[in-house]
Amino acid sequence: MIFKKVNIFLFPLIIFLIVSRYSQTYKSSDYPYIFPFRHGEKYMLTQGFNGKLSHYGIDKYCLDFDMPKGTTICAARGGTVSYVKQDSDIGGPDPKYWKYANKIIIDHKDGTFGFYCHLRNNGALVKKGDTVKEGDEIGYSGSTGFSTGPHLHFSVFRYGLDGDLHSVEFNMTDYDGKIIVPTDANYYYSTHKGCAPFKIVLGRLIKASGLAKHHKPWKEDDKCDVYEEKIDSTIVLYFRNGKNKSVSVTLTGKVINMITTRKFPYTVTVPPKTEQFLMILRLDRPLEAWRYDYEFRYTEL
């Protein structure tokens, strides 16, 4: 009788502890993950959290990185390899291919799992039961399963009360050590602890305000032209005046799925023998078609 009373007393507590465990909200600050590729390499995030193409429902907190087949994938966090599938060589842009996705799952020992998906055929460098550290090489990217092209799908999961894995929100460590939530159409470097520093070149760091006073001497060749500098998904336009007179320049154009720092048409005066900043164009939505066209005319002053 006493035993039954103890069970009745403990039952609500046990239920509370179970529900608390599975209803826990894993905040992005709980653990700062590194980007899941080699130190010093950078790739574009084509679809982030709540992505319209496929990141919704239980998969809403997932990241897709555009990368060529065979790119080395690294553990974003240490743990124990709990699952490996690498026997598939099938993929395509249809949900029916989902079961053919090669993948690696790493148990983080806190109720969460790292999920690395769409690996190439025989693209795993680890096996079930292996212990890996943050930054260790674990496999190679591919395009198996439900995939529109070569990329790495990365997410953090935990089991829900329904017994299924559900994605949880998480943060990443940026090149400068800041904790961030990466956003679509931007490139990101992976930085591994204890590794040598490297030069950072990112289009998303280029600001129009920082180039507003860009006036660089240019050779006198009696020519005028627009120069493009492309860094990642960012395009910077400069005007090069090779004449010995100032010119008034008008730039006209049209963009599709791009953001510009100045509106067309844009008119500016460029001093003689000078390269001068015009504007910045940035990709807006990476999974949609994009295009930019422009032309210019100038008048000597």
Asked, as a colleague might, if the bond just before 265 is cis with ω within 30 of 0, I would say: yes
Tokens of 17: 């502890």
Select from 154, 173, 193 the last residue of a domain.
193
Confidence of residue 223 (pLDDT cuts 50, 70, 90): very high
Q: 141: which residues sit within 8 A by CB, 6+ positions away?
A: 67, 68, 69, 70, 71, 72, 73, 118, 119, 120, 123, 150, 151, 152
Q: What percent of the chain has pLDDT over 90?
A: 80
Q: Is the pLDDT of residue 24 over 50?
A: no
pLDDT the model gives residue 282: 97
Cα-Cα end-to-end distance for the chain: 103
CATH code for position 220: 2.60.40
CATH code for position 144: 2.70.70.10
Whether residues 259 and 183 share a domain: the answer is no
pLDDT, tens only, 261-287: 999 999 999 999 999 999 999 999 998
Whether residues 144 and 270 share a domain: the answer is no
pLDDT the model gives residue 153: 96
Cα separation, 41 vs 232, in Å, equals 12
CA distances from 58 to 10, 167, 168 (A): 32, 6, 9
pLDDT the model gives residue 17: 41
Confidence of residue 20 (pLDDT cuts 50, 70, 90): very low
Q: Which residue has the tokens 């039954």?
A: 4
Confidence of residue 54 (pLDDT cuts 50, 70, 90): confident
Note whether residue 83 is domain-resident: yes
Whether residues 100 and 148 share a domain: the answer is yes
Select from 193, 212, 235 the last residue of a domain.
193
Whether residues 41 and 188 share a domain: the answer is yes
CB 168 within 8 A of CB 59: no
pTM of the model: 0.86
For the chain, the farthest-separated pair of C-alpha atoms sits apart, in whole angstroms, at: 104
pLDDT, tens only, 91-120: 999 989 999 999 999 999 999 999 999 999
Note whether residue 8 is domain-resident: no
Q: How many domains does the chain have?
A: 2
- The predicted model gives 151-171 an average pLDDT of 88
Cα separation, 145 vs 139, in Å, equals 16
Show the domain range for 233. Answer: 204-300
